Amino acid sequence: MPNRTAPMDAIVADMVSKFDEDLREDFEERAGIIEFEGKLPRAHAECLALLDLLRRHPEVLINAIEGKVVSEDAQS
């Protein structure tokens, strides 16, 4: 498991902490792309990356609220 830093925003960090490794990697990649391509601060990019991930995988929000860890492989 890679050593990752927590997202800057507390709410984003709480949501992301509930993700499995695949979803976390997806989040990190998207945040990096948004930060670099959009020339945005990292905290803003992380918020947008979380919104994008939830848009593409709405079931993650429900499972995160219920405290379940979700794998993209299990949803396929």
Q: Are 27 and 50 in contact (CB under 8 A)?
A: yes
Q: What is the DSSP string of 29-76?
A: HHHHHHHHHHT--HHHHHHHHHHHHHHH-HHHHHHHHTT----HHHH-
In this predicted model, what pLDDT tens digit does every residue of 1-16 receive, in sequence order? 566 888 999 999 988 8
pTM of the model as a whole: 0.78
CA 21, 25, 26: angle at the middle one, nearest 5? Answer: 120
Which is more confident, 65 or 18? Answer: 18
Amino acid, single-letter form, for residue 22:
D
All structural domains of the chain with their residue ranges:
10-67
> Phi, psi (5° rounding) for residue 55?
-65, -40
